[in-house]
Each structure stands twice: as C-alpha cells, then as structure tokens.
Homo-oligomer: A and B are copies of this chain.
C-alpha cells in the first residue's frame, strides 16, 4: 500500500497527499460541497465515497478506450492513487445540452439541445473567479502550449463521446462536464475527478437532475441522486 505522507493541497472537495514515490499522489475525496464560487457551503453525506468510486470507474472506462488518465488504483473507500501531475490551470467544459451558465450566457432555455456540442475553457483562478477564456488567452498567459491546447480539446471530445455512449444504457444523459488536465513528465493526462460534482447527469426518461444542481438549487434528494448515479454505473459494469 502506498504511504500517505505530507498533505500537499486541500481544495474544496479533495485533499491531495504526497506518497513515498514523487510520481504518485493520494487523493482523498471529502463530503464537503461548495457552489457559486464558494458562496454556498454544505455537506453531502457519502459524497466522498461515491465520487471517489465513480471517478475510479470512469477513469478506468476512459483509459481502456485510449484516453490517458492520472488514475492508478483505488486505495480506500474515498481514496485514489494517481500520477502526480502539474495541473494545467485551465478547466475544459464540454456541453451537449444548454444548462447552467451556458443557458444564461446564450439566453437559451435550460434543456435546449445544442445544434453542435460546445467546448469552453475557463482559467482556473479563484482570485479571478474562473473567467471564461479562449485559446488565445491561454497562449498569451502561457497556461499551455498550442499542442497541449489541441490535446486537451481532442481528449475532451473523446471523453464526451465515450461517456455519452457508456451512460446511455443506464438511461443517464451526459448534459455537460468539466475536466482538468495535468502534465506528467511532459505528457498531458486527464486528472482531477469525474463525478456528479463535475458533470450534469439527467435521467433520460424523467429528465430528473442527478447531480450537484440538486445541491446548488436546493432541490432536495441530493444524496439519493449521487447514490443513484453510482448504482446505475456499477450495474453497467457488472
């Protein structure tokens, strides 16, 4: 078992620990939830475990289908062993259906299918409130090279295709999601997490929201929604 050493970083949803191996970190998923740029705070029971498990499963599905990820193995109920990467401070958001900030930005009713899927970049900076940026801003700020931008774009599209298809038999619609990438010995890897905190999942039949929007918008049934996504994904993999 890898040894949990110094706490490197505590974020809003996870703790990152060094291990004996400088190339590997342990990520511990917390039950803490925040929204609206940190203004709303709360706890979602069992979220840490569910998001760790879902991330592990999604990363495995993606690695097997050719997307390089930071995931090595799950080492505890809420703990993943991952490759230690230098996070590229750019959040990559892919969207299939208008929801959240996109619906507001473009004046579309939430739920409007997009005629073409959308990819967006946000500058991961709490101080600047994660502003939307484009590839030129990324280049001007030297946040990533042109090649790295292209790789992130193409991995994000691949994740969108693969997860959309993977989730379809579970009657889960992948509305949108946020990815983070990192550099591992010069290579771009998919990092961070993939969970109801970072994706919008809607029930394909009822349209019910099964993700963090239940917390953001006080819709109730938050824990049940997270559990439901996990149980459907686990069934897919049986």
Contact = CB atoms under 8 A, between A and B. Distances in A.
A113 to B, nearest CB: 10
A116 interface: yes
B106 A133 contact: yes
* Interface size range of chain A in the complex: 20 to 34
A137 B125 contact: no
Interface of A: 105-107, 114-121, 123, 125, 127-128, 131-134, 136-137, 139-142
28 contacts: A105-B128, A105-B131, A105-B137, A106-B123, A106-B128, A106-B137, A106-B141, A107-B125, A107-B128, A114-B140, A115-B139, A115-B140, A115-B141, A116-B136, A116-B139, A116-B140, A117-B136, A117-B140, A118-B134, A118-B136, A118-B137, A118-B140, A119-B134, A119-B136, A120-B134, A120-B136, A132-B132, A134-B134
